[in-house]
């Protein structure tokens, strides 16, 4: 299963699928992988993204205007998988589109498409029993979020339900770039390590190679989301190129360090 | 688009031909941490980002403790009595009854409460909880502005900082309430995304809460959202039905044949219904916004065009498209203009214990005029939907039957829209 982080820190790249359109999203993803991204989070656009800041909200709106939907994201995943065997592919979604398709059907199609894992922002572990069953049956890794506000008892449940890795939310708040990363993330990773051996990815608010390197000192993987989506927004017509350049900055940094 | 079969005991309906798997995600958990029923049949639950889970647990614990605390109840009762103006009267609508020529109509007068709607019942209850939790910042969403005004009011009363999120479309149509909130010291933040109405205001309030959860309480204004909100908000409104039941027994010596209430999120309706649920002969009738017609996007009748799904923390009926994207809605009344409905209503509807019908914009406007001219009461446009249903139903009922209509709020806030639509000056 490609959900293995070969280098440390591994780079996880989030894109909102269908922004600006699905063909371009595929080019962007392949360019990001080529430039060194280890795992791609395929964001499914949703009409009511309560966990997202303005950048991803705008991207979702654009994607929905273009008619993007969950089944197309799964088709896109299959296409990406044909081109890249090594990259990890994670579907990143709100729960309702999955429910609408049907959880079991979703898991089957996702597995078939070569998806490795799924992260649902608004599905906490307590509500996940049937989802977990379907995920397990289809050999998909459920990835759950851990937040700075999660007490230790919850971290344990989250770690137990997760496979592949645990996604640490670096701070309370929605997605979006921040100047300063709070101490929250480091502390949370420390607390989480006590209850799990799974690798830990840290995300939310990481936008610069400096922050990436900083976070990489204590995390196994670092997620860059809004900064990628913003790069796409700002580079109409040359999205894939711009993303490749952007990702390259993170990966060359790594090379320098090595 | 297929419409939902409106039979009782209907199986979970679907919009499209693709089979919508009824997940029953996370049955009643039964663990000691969750001994409040967070589920109403298969509906309800807690579907929020992880960041909020600890805060919901804290709120649930605090609420459980408060319900067992005599002092809390005494304090709340006193505020309801001496500040909000409870009990509210049950008014016999004599001229309306004669005009419609059927069942005897009584009005439960939540419009007479301080701030002009039932919303204050819930706001006072939650404010006391905020005080217990030691938080100082309160956020809220508002549609019609009534919940925003009630929240701003209790924040002034308790000395909390108050931020209210409101869709810019709603700010336009309920501008009087925007000013009232500001006068009360609240900050009103306009929300420009989506359809610029209640749903979008809740999204933005949730984003604020995710960010500031450590210091902030989200004072949700209806029986929506993640557990414990649907249960807690219902309990704060149960006083409506408790009073009404005693009042009608005193006035008529018998139970009503029906209780009618409008349903946005469903707080005034569940409050009015709850004490009557055990009285199996009392029909419980919720009225949704039929808007301009039954094409998706033109109404907010969740039981007409909706199907089960998750929106903003809870599993209930949702107006959505085939891909699970939430539909836009329309209603002349901002307080009913929302694509989902409280999970307990979904359960009452599936079990057949309550029935839900739509009333159109035009019917609500007509009902407003009728109630104003027969009883001297200008209802909120939301409440006018309930009046519209009694206009259809009372003439077909026996003269010996009694009906209670919940007048959830007064129409002062709607004067602008009424002027635009009624063209009587
Ligand atoms: C007067 C009045 N009635 C009803 C509603 C609808 O809310 P609910 O269904 O929660 O009672 C509102 C909401 O703004 C309102 O202001």
Catalytic residue among B195, B347, B360, B408: B408
Q: What is the pLDDT of residues A100-126, one digit of tens each?
A: 999 999 999 999 999 999 999 999 999
Question: How would you classify residue A222: left for phi > 0, otherwise alpha for psi between -120 and 50, otherwise beta?
Answer: beta
- Among B121, B146, B412, residue to substitute to test ligand 1 (most atoms within 8 Å of Cβ): B146
| CB-based burial, B201-225: b 16+ in 10 Å, e otherwise | bbbbbbbbbbbbbeebbbbbbbbbb
Closest by Cβ to B324, choosing from A70, A127, A150: A70
Q: What is the pLDDT of residue A251?
A: 87
Report whether residue B309 contacts ligand 1, using a CB cutoff of 6 Å.
no
Q: How far is CA B14 from CA A46, B40, B42, B73, B298, in A?
A: 20, 19, 15, 42, 19
**SS3 category, B327:** coil
Domains in chain A, please, with CATH? Answer: 10-143+219-257 (3.20.20.70)
Query: What span, in angstroms and rounded, lies between the C-alpha atoms of B155 and B124?
Result: 9
* Closest chain B residue by Cα to residue A150: B54
- Over range A234-253, report the average pLDDT: 93
Q: Whose CA is nearest to atom 4 of ligand 1?
A: B382
Active site residue A52: yes
**Residues with Cβ within 8 Å of residue B227, at least 6 apart in sequence:** B34, B36, B38, B39, B44, B45, B46, B56, B60, B314
Q: What is the pLDDT of residues B190-230, one digit of tens each?
A: 999 888 999 999 999 999 999 999 999 999 999 999 999 99
Q: What is the pLDDT of residues B284-330, one digit of tens each?
A: 999 999 999 999 999 999 999 999 999 999 999 999 999 999 999 99
Catalytic residue among B141, B204, B382, B389: B141
- Between the CA of A243 and the centroid of ligand 1 the distance, in Å, is 47
A174 interaction partners in chain B (CB closer than 8 Å)? 207, 210-211
Beta strand residue intervals within B43-130, DSSP E: 43-44, 90-92, 104-109
**DSSP letter string, B253-292:** SS--SEEEEE-SSSHHHHHHHGGGTT-TTSEEEEEEEEET
Q: Which helix (H) or strand (E) holds B356?
A: strand B354-360
Q: Do the Cβ atoms of A54 and B307 come closer than 8 Å?
A: no
- Between the CA of A177 and the centroid of ligand 1 the distance, in Å, is 37
- The confidence band for A180, taking pLDDT boundaries of 50, 70 and 90, is low
In this structure, what are the phi and psi dihedrals at residue B46, rounded to the nearest 5 degrees? -145, 95
Q: Which helix (H) or strand (E) holds A103?
A: helix A103-113
Q: Which residues of chain B have pLDDT under 50?
A: 1-36
pLDDT over 90 percentage in chain A: 88
Q: What is the pLDDT of residue B24?
A: 39
* Closest chain A residue by Cα to residue B38: A127
Q: What is the pLDDT of residue B308?
A: 98
Query: What span, in angstroms and rounded, lies between the C-alpha atoms of A44 and A35?
Result: 23
Cβ within 8 Å, pair B25-A46: no
**Which atom belonging to ligand 1 lies closest to the Cα atom of B223?**
10
| Pairing assessment for the beta strands B307-311 and B314-318 based on DSSP bridges | antiparallel
> In this model, does residue A63 exceed pLDDT 90?
yes
Q: Whose CA is nearest to atom 6 of ligand 1?
A: B264
Active site residue B408: yes
Active site residue B119: yes
Q: Do the Cβ atoms of B355 and B284 come closer than 8 Å?
A: yes
- Over range A41-45, report the average pLDDT: 98
Chain CA centroid to CA B270, Å: 8
Q: Which residue has the higher pLDDT, B33 or A99?
A: A99
Catalytic residue among A38, A52, A116, A230: A52
Which of A:29-58 have CB within 8 Å of B? 46-53, 57
Q: What is the pLDDT of residue A86?
A: 93
Report which of B108, B34, B88 is spatially closest to residue B408, judged by C-alpha positions. Answer: B108
**SS3 category, B228:** coil
Closest by Cβ to B50, choosing from A46, A57, A169: A169
**SS3 category, A28:** helix
Question: How would you classify residue A167: left for phi > 0, otherwise alpha for psi between -120 and 50, otherwise beta?
Answer: beta
* Six token digits for residue B167: 């869709």
- Over range A34-61, report the average pLDDT: 96
- Among B142, B272, B380, B389, residue to substitute to test ligand 1 (most atoms within 8 Å of Cβ): B380
Q: Do the Cβ atoms of B330 and B305 come closer than 8 Å?
A: no
């Amino acid at each position: 299963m490609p959900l293995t982080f070969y280098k440390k820190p591994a780079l996880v790249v989030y894109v909102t699928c269908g922004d600006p359109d699905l063909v371009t999203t595929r080019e962007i993803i392949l360019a990001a992988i080529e430039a060194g991204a280890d795992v791609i989070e395929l964001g499914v656009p949703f009409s009511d993204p309560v966990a997202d800041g303005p950048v991803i909200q705008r991207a979702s709106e654009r994607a929905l205007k273009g008619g993007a939907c969950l089944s197309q994201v799964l088709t896109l995943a299959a296409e990406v998988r044909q081109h890249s065997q090594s990259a990890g592919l994670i579907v990143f979604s709100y729960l309702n589109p999955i429910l609408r398709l049907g959880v079991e059907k979703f898991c089957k199609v996702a597995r078939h498409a070569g998806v490795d894992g799924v992260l649902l922002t608004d599905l906490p572990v307590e509500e996940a029993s049937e989802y977990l069953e379907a995920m397990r049956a289809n050999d998909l890794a459920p990835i759950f979020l851990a937040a700075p506000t999660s007490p230790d008892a919850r971290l344990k449940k989250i770690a137990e339900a997760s496979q592949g890795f645990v996604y640490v939310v670096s701070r309370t708040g929605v997605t979006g770039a921040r100047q300063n990363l709070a101490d929250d993330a480091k502390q949370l990773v420390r607390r989480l390590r006590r209850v799990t051996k799974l690798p830990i990815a840290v995300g939310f608010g990481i936008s610069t190679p400096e922050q990436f390197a900083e976070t990489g000192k204590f995390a196994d993987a670092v997620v860059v989301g809004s900064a990628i989506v913003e790069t796409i927004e700002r580079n109409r017509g040359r999205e894939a190129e711009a993303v490749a350049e952007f990702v390259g900055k993170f990966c060359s940094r790594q090379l320098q360090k090595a | 688009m297929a419409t939902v079969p409106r039979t009782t005991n209907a199986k979970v309906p679907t919009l499209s031909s693709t089979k919508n798997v009824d997940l029953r995600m996370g049955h009643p958990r039964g663990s000691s941490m969750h001994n409040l029923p967070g589920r109403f049949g298969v509906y309800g639950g807690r579907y929020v980002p992880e960041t909020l889970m600890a805060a919901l647990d804290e709120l649930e614990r605090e609420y459980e403790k408060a319900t067992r605390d005599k002092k809390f109840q005494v304090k709340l009762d006193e505020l309801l009595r001496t500040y909000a103006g409870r009990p509210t009267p049950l008014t016999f609508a004599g001229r309306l009854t004669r005009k419609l020529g059927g069942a005897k109509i009584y009005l439960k007068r939540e419009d007479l409460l301080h701030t002009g709607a039932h919303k204050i019942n819930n706001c006072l209850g939650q404010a006391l909880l905020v005080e217990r939790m030691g938080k100082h910042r309160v956020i809220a969403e508002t549609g019609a502005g009534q919940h925003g005004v009630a929240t701003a009011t209790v924040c002034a009363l308790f000395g909390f900082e108050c931020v209210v999120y409101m869709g810019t479309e709603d700010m336009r149509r309920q501008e009087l309430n925007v000013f009232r909130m500001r006068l009360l010291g609240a900050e009103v933040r306009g929300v420009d995304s989506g359809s610029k109405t209640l749903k979008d205001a809740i999204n933005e309030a949730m984003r604020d809460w995710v960010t500031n959860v450590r210091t902030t309480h989200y004072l949700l204004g209806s029986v929506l959202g993640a557990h414990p909100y649907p249960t807690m908000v219902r309990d704060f409104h149960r006083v409506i039905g408790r009073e009404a039941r005693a009042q009608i027994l005193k006035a008529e010596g018998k139970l009503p044949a029906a209780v009618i209430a409008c349903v946005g999120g469903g707080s005034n309706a569940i409050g009015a219904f709850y004490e009557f649920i055990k009285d199996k002969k009392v029909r419980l009738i919720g009225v949704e916004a039929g808007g301009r017609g039954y094409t998706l996007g033109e109404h907010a009748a969740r039981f007409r065009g909706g199907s089960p799904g998750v929106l903003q923390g809870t599993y209930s009926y949702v107006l959505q498209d085939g891909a699970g994207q939430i539909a836009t809605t329309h209603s002349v009344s901002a307080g009913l203009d929302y694509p989902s409905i409280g999970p307990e209503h979904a359960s009452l509807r599936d079990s057949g214990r309550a029935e839900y019908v739509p009333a159109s914009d035009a019917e609500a406007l007509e009902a407003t005029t009728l109630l104003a001219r027969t009883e001297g009461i200008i209802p909120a446009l939301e409440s006018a939907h309930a009046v519209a249903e009694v206009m259809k139903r009372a003439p077909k009922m026996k003269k010996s039957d009694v009906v209670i209509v919940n007048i959830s709020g007064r129409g002062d806030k709607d004067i602008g829209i009424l002027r635009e639509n009624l063209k009587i000056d």
